[in-house]
Amino acid sequence: MAEGELRQALGRAPGTYTVDSVHVPVAGASAGVWRVAGDGWSVVLKLLRHGAGGHENWQSGDAEDHWYYWRREALAYESGLVASLAGQARAARCLHVADRLDGSVALWLEDVGGEPGQTWSLGHYRRAARHLGQAQGEFAAGRPLPPYNWLSHDWLRAYLRQRDSDHSLIDDPAVWELPRVKAWLAPSIAGPLREMRADQHRFLAALDGLPRTLCHLDLHPANLFAVGGETVVIDWSFVGTGALGEDAGNLVPDAVLDFHVDPEHLDALFEAVLTGYVEGLADAGSRTSPDLARLGMTAAMAAKYAWIGPAVLRAAVKEKEMLNRRPFDDTLQWWAPTVEFLLRQTSRARDLLRRANG
């Protein structure tokens, strides 16, 4: 433990303290997250290091325009950008940033506390979405987007290049006859899944045409905390410019795919997030219509999650016992209804595009 850094973060001598790991990273720029606690205080240490390891889909880059530029989160804190959000959404407070001799960067951050997003009710999601709309609506209402070169741009396309595989399995009738597939997914969804992937370029183009705002780009329940009347957002590794509705659209399926909201509440969750988001946009003075916000959310989901169906098929073909860190059948109880939800929202995105294009 670097006591000099800790002293800088606290503004005083730390005294006796403990260090506990709170997160084992899966992404390539995070070398670990620890809680450091002493008498009446606690802080979080996040260590950034290029090429720290992690899953093959989450490898970091050392160029500023890389979708996962390893220093981006440190720069987001150092620049003051994420401390300048409008409304009731905010980033965790950054106490100190330290460049280390080994080339890594230490982020000393507020230990947020509060209610983590993994435990939220639908009402919490609506409130957080409103706070998100307040922050993003300010840019839609005229606040200039920051000019920093290190912000991510066209992040979603870069992300999809990491996921664009095994779509051919959709067209293999034998795959749909596998008992593990038949138990959860009807062969009749093969066509809609194929069309979802084929129309990905349309949905990405639709997002390109929407008002631009500052996006988190990994808005996931694990990165959200309700603290008093605020929503605190952590992990700004991908922060950049994106479309209105893009973050809100990401939040809904991720809440179910990672087992935080029961899939029977998917439609209600979507409407709660949409309603709250539109309220927040209005709070910020943005005149974005509910249909335009809905288009942003549905187009983001339709573009981003075309890989989910093929991922299930691939796991079945490879006879994997685990999927997303749970037994295959346990995961499919959550994922199968989510696939059907995503196909419904993909159809809705097409309808909204037809209406928008006359």
271 burial via Cβ count (<10 Å: 0-12, 13-18, 19+): middle
Q: What is the per-residue pLDDT for 218?
A: 96
Q: What is the per-residue pLDDT for 357?
A: 83
Query: Which residues of the chain fall short of a pLDDT of 70?
Result: 1, 25-27, 52-54, 165
For the record, the structure tokens of 48 come out as 């950034």
For the chain, list the domains and their CATH numbers. 3-110 (3.30.200.20), 115-356 (3.90.1200)
Instruction: Identify any residues that bridge with 97 across adjacent strands, giving them in sequence order.
Output: 107
Phi, psi of 315 (to 5 degrees): -65, -35
Return the amino acid letter for 245.
G
Write the CA distances from 265 to 221, 253, 329, integer angstroms: 15, 11, 20
Q: Are 22 and 35 in contact (CB under 8 A)?
A: yes
The angle that helices 290-304 and 155-163 make with each other, rounded to 10 degrees, is 30
DSSP annotation string for 197-248: HHTHHHHHHHHHTSPEEEE-S---GGGEEEETTEEEE---TT-EEEETTHHH
Residues 155-197: tens digit of each pLDDT? 999 999 887 767 889 999 999 999 999 999 999 999 999 999 9
Q: What is the per-residue pLDDT for 27?
A: 62
Percent composition of the chain: helix, strand, coil (DSSP 3-state, to 5): 50, 20, 30
12 burial via Cβ count (<10 Å: 0-12, 13-18, 19+): exposed
* 230-233/89-91 β-pairing: parallel
Residues contacting residue 249 through CB under 8 Å, at least 6 positions apart: 296, 297, 298, 299, 300, 301, 304
